[in-house]
C-alpha cells in the first residue's frame, strides 16, 4: 500500500497530525518505536493545556491515541532505522518491514539528556532514572534527588515529595527556571531541599547506585549525597540522525523548517520538539502537528 502520509513518531505532534490527516480523508500511518504519547507520558500532571485544568500525562496520551485511532489512523509500533525520502515516493524502513508513501512528517520529538558519566547506562533502573512518574514508587519513604531546575525537574520533585521522605533538587544555578506556578508550589513542600549552584560530580555504584558526589560551583567543594534514587531532568536532545542528509539540521541537531513546517526536502515535513523552535510545549507540539499535516495535504493536492 502507498500511504498518503507517513508519520514518524507517535507523540503529541505525530498523533495530532494523524487525527487531522485521517479526518481529511487521507490514508495515514504513524510509526512509534516505544509508547504512544512520547515524553508527555512521563509527566505526572498537566496544568497548562487550554480547557483541561488538570490531567495526567498518561491519561492525555491515551486520549490522544484513542482519538487518532477512532478517525482511522493506523498505528504501527516499530522503530524506523532508515529512510529514503528524496524522491516522489518515500520509503521508510524498520527492522522488519518497509513502507512507502507520498509524504513524510517527522515527529520524533526528543529524548532525555544524560549526565554523561561512564557508568550511567548500567545504573539505569538501579537507582538512576529519567522518569519520576515511572519509577518513583520504588523509592517510597526514601531519600531521592532530582537533577535540574526547569519545569520537568520541578514537576518530578513535586510528584516525588508526595511519596518520598526527602527530595533534593540539584541545580547548577541559584534560581529555579520553571514556571512561577510550579515554583511557588515547590517552596511550600517542607521535604524538598535545595542544592543550588551545584552539579553532580560523579555517580558511584556497580550493581546499584550507592552514592552521588556533588560539587558546589562557587566554592569547588565536593561532598557526598546519600540518596537511594537519582532522577535526571536536565533537558532534552533531538534524535534526527537518520534524516540528515538530506534534511537540513541546525548545529544542535534540530530540523530546520519554515513556519508552515516544511523542510528543505519536497514532500517532507516536521512537527513538534524535534524542529528548530523557541518554545517546546505540549500546545506547540499540537499546533505543529496540525500545521505540518495541513502542509502535507496541500502538497498532496498539487501544491509545493
Beta strand spans in 172-208 (E): 192-196, 198-205
**What pLDDT is recorded for position 282?**
93
- The whole-number pLDDT of residue 8 equals 99
Which residues have C-beta within 8 Å of that of residue 302, sequence separation ≥ 6?
none
Q: pLDDT tens digits for 82-123?
A: 999 999 999 999 989 999 999 999 999 999 999 999 999 999
Ordered by start, the domain boundaries in the chain are 2-112+236-300, 120-232
Domain 120-232: CATH superfamily is: FAD/NAD(P)-binding domain (3.50.50.60)
Measured CA to CA, the distance from residue 277 to residue 282 in angstroms comes to 13
Active site residues: 131, 134-135
How far is the CA of 112 from the CAs of 4, 18, 200, in angstroms?
Answer: 31, 24, 16
pLDDT of residue 21: 98
Q: Is the pTM of this model over 0.75?
A: yes
Residue 236: closest CA among 290, 274, 263? 274
What is the predicted pLDDT for the residue at 136? 93
Q: DSSP characters for 132-168?
A: HHHHGGGGTTSEEEEE--SHHHHHHHHHHHTTSSEEE
d(CA 281, CA 179): 12
For 75-105, letters b (16+ CB in 10 Å) and e give beeeebeebebeeeebebebeeeebebbbbb
Q: Which residues contact 258 (CB under 8 A, 6 or more apart)?
A: none
| Digitized pLDDT (tens) for each residue of the chain, 304 residues in all | 999 999 999 999 999 999 999 999 999 999 999 889 988 888 888 888 999 988 999 999 999 999 999 999 999 999 999 999 999 999 999 989 999 999 999 999 999 999 999 999 999 999 999 999 889 999 999 999 999 999 999 999 999 999 999 999 999 999 998 889 999 999 999 999 999 999 999 999 988 999 999 999 999 999 999 999 999 999 999 999 999 999 999 999 999 999 999 999 999 999 999 999 999 999 999 999 999 999 999 999 987 6
Which spans in the chain are helix H?
A: 12-23, 57-70, 120-123, 132-135, 151-161, 180-188, 282-300
Burial of 16 (0-12, 13-18, 19+ CB in 10 A): buried
Q: Is it true that 2-112+236-300 and 120-232 share their CATH fold?
A: yes
Radius of gyration of the chain (CA): 21
Q: Which residues pair with 108 in a beta bridge?
A: none
For residue 42, the model assigns a pLDDT of: 83
Fold of 2-112+236-300: FAD/NAD(P)-binding domain (3.50.50)
Q: What is the pLDDT of residues 64-91, one digit of tens each?
A: 999 999 999 999 999 999 999 999 999 9
Amino acid at each position: 500500500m502507498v500511504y498518503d502520509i507517513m508519520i514518524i513518531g507517535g507523540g503529541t505532534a505525530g498523533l495530532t497530525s494523524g487525527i487531522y490527516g485521517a479526518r481529511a480523508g487521507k490514508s495515514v500511518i504513524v510509526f512509534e518505536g516505544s509508547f504512544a504519547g512520547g515524553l508527555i507520558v512521563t509527566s505526572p500532571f498537566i496544568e497548562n493545556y487550554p480547557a483541561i485544568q488538570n490531567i495526567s500525562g498518561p491519561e492525555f496520551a491515551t486520549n490522544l491515541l484513542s482519538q487518532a485511532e477512532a478517525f482511522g489512523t493506523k498505528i504501527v509500533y516499530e522503530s524506523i532505522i532508515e529512510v529514503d525520502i528524496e524522491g516522489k515516493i518515500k520509503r521508510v524502513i524498520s527492522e522488519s518491514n518497509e513502507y512507502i508513501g507520498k509524504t513524510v512528517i517527522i515527529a520524533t520529538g526528543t529524548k532525555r539528556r544524560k549526565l554523561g558519566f561512564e557508568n550511567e547506562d548500567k545504573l539505569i533502573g538501579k537507582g538512576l532514572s529519567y522518569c519520576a512518574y515511572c519509577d518513583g514508587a520504588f523509592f517510597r519513604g526514601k531519600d531521592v534527588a532530582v537533577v535540574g531546575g526547569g519545569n520537568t525537574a520541578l514537576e518530578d520533585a513535586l510528584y516525588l515529595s508526595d511519596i518520598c521522605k526527602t527530595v533534593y533538587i540539584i541545580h547548577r544555578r541559584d534560581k529555579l527556571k520553571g514556571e512561577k506556578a510550579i515554583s511557588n508550589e515547590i517552596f511550600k513542600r517542607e521535604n524538598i531541599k535545595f542544592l543550588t549552584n551545584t552539579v553532580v560530580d560523579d555517580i558511584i555504584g556497580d550493581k546499584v547506585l550507592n552514592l552521588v558526589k556533588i560539587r558546589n560551583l562557587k566554592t569547588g567543594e565536593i561532598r557526598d549525597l546519600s540518596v537511594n534514587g537519582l532522577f535526571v531532568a536536565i533537558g532534552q536532545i533531538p534524535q534526527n540522525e537518520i534524516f540528515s542528509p538530506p534534511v537540513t539540521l541546525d548545529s544542535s541537531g534540530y530540523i530546520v523548517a519554515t513556519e508552515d513546517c516544511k523542510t528543505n526536502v519536497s514532500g517532507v515535513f516536521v512537527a513538534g520538539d524535534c524542529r528548530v523552535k523557541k518554545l517546546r510545549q505540549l500546545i506547540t507540539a499540537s499546533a505543529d502537528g496540525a500545521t505540518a499535516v495541513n502542509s502535507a495535504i496541500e502538497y498532496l493536492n498539487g501544491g509545493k
